[in-house]
Amino acid sequence: MPIDLYYVPGSAPCRAVLLTAKALNLNLNLKLVDLHHGDHLKPEYIKLNPQHTVPTLVDDGLSIWESRAIMTYLVNKYGKGSGLYPEEPKARALIDQRLYFDIGTLYARFADYFYPQVFGGAPADADKKAKIEDALQLLNTFLDGQKYVAGPNLTVADLTIIASVSSFEASDIDFKKFPNIKRWYETVKSTAPGYQEANEKGLDAFKGLVNSMLKK
């Protein structure tokens, strides 16, 4: 049976799932969700995902959403031994911490700062921007002496965080002024399988959306 992924190309969480699939050499049956026309609010979609968010994955009768849950599920089912989400408790705990840091702090603060500007016409909030800078400083610290965000090897933590951080390129946030982040960013871009197709194409779509919305 195919693995269906309901997604939006520009979405950072969707791009993180696509990066994971590439790293696992998995072929996903991509189903575009047109948010503008309310595809996510249709009864058949809400039946799959009552929160009507993207991405949503459907695999062998299981419907699951929240990108980081999807990513770890895919590795647990299809990528044992890949190193992307190792089973050793200490290694996994560190990866989990980074995943939760992304959803609860890094990406959350970016969304809180930037999306009201893009989708609501709100002015930039200096205090919210400062919180993003604090989160980036934490990420920079995590990377002290580390090739990747959770140790010496590429993991799902890198894939979710680079999907988030790359989105900052559409904003006025200069993450490359943090030396460890800049080094890590270039490393992941050159080592994550299928990076250009899985992330860069969607990032370009996100930048295009931002530009069109801010011109209104």
Q: What is the CATH number of the domain that holds 69?
A: 3.40.30.10
Mean pLDDT computed over every residue of the chain? 97
Q: How many domains, the chain?
A: 2
Same domain, 23 and 44: yes
Same domain, 129 and 179: yes
pLDDT at residue 155 tops 90: yes
Tokens for 93, please give them.
Answer: 């705990």
Residue 167 designated active-site: no
Same domain, 111 and 192: yes
Cα angle vertex 115, ends 140, 137, to 5°? 10
Look at residues 117, 107, 131, 106 and name the one whose alpha carbon lies nearest to residue 171: 117
Three-class SS of 171-191:
CCCCHHHCHHHHHHHHHHHHH
Q: Among the options 11, 164, 166, 167, which is catalytic? A: 11
Query: 15 lies in which domain range?
Result: 3-78
pLDDT at residue 132 tops 80: yes
Has residue 84 been placed in a domain?
no
Tens digits of residue pLDDT in 58-115: 999 999 999 999 999 999 999 989 999 999 999 999 999 999 999 999 999 999 999 9
Has residue 51 been placed in a domain?
yes
Same domain, 193 and 127: yes
Beta bridge partners of 151: 148
Has residue 83 been placed in a domain?
no
Tens digits of residue pLDDT in 12-34: 999 999 999 999 999 999 999 99
